[in-house]
Amino acid sequence: MRGKNCLVLVVAVLLTISVSVCFGAESAGAPSVFFPETNFEFSPVLEDSMVVHEFVIQNTGDATLNVDRVKTG
pLDDT by residue (tens digit) across 19-47? 454 455 455 699 999 999 989 999 999 99
d(CA 7, CA 56): 53
Say whether pLDDT at 10 is over 90. Answer: no
Q: Mean pLDDT throughout 59-69?
A: 94
Q: Mean pLDDT throughout 50-62?
A: 93
Domain ranges of the chain: 2-59
Whole-prediction pTM: 0.48
The pair phi, psi for residue 34, each rounded to 5°, is -135, 130
pLDDT at 70: 87
pLDDT at 3: 55
Q: Mean pLDDT throughout 47-51?
A: 93
